[in-house]
Amino acid sequence: MSDVDPNAKLILIADDDQATRTFLNAAARKLGHRTIQVDNGKDAFDEAKKNRPDLILLDILMPDIDGYTDLRLLRLNWRTRDIPIVVISGYADQADADRCLTAGANFFLPKPATVAQVRTVINKFLSPASAPHAPNQAES
């Protein structure tokens, strides 16, 4: 993929539903970001440790490890504790949102989300001013 900017932000998309992953992937790529997609909680945690993405989009109900456990594991691990995590879940009542935020999520977005909502939340956490690879910063 030579047309992808090597300094583009990396987003980890963790959802067991292929259609949701495809939707989130398209929204992220349209904004110029790179993505990694996984379909279960164990792979989400492993990929986050390995690749240290700039943002994680996380579902709650997934095989192997659920999103709540992933949130706790990601916040306890020194390599992943500071990565912004947006939970995108069909469990959309206030109690579920509060539980996700208490477990370590930075933001909760209920499903079904619109393209505009997904783009807004991605831009909230990956704005150029806060980006680690902003063009005005020297690379070492």
Please, which pLDDT band fits residue 5 given cuts at 50, 70 and 90? confident
Q: Retrieve residue 111's tokens.
A: 């499903």
Residues 14-68 have pLDDT tens digits of: 999 999 999 999 999 999 999 999 999 999 999 999 999 999 999 999 988 999 9
Would you say 33 and 126 are in contact if contact means Cβ atoms under 8 Å apart? Answer: yes
Kindly state the percentage of the chain with pLDDT values over 90. 72
Residues 62-75 have pLDDT tens digits of: 988 999 999 999 99
Question: Domain 12-124 sits in which CATH superfamily?
Answer: Response regulator (3.40.50.2300)
pLDDT, greater one: 139 or 76:
76
Domain boundaries defined on the chain? 12-124
Q: Model-level pTM?
A: 0.86
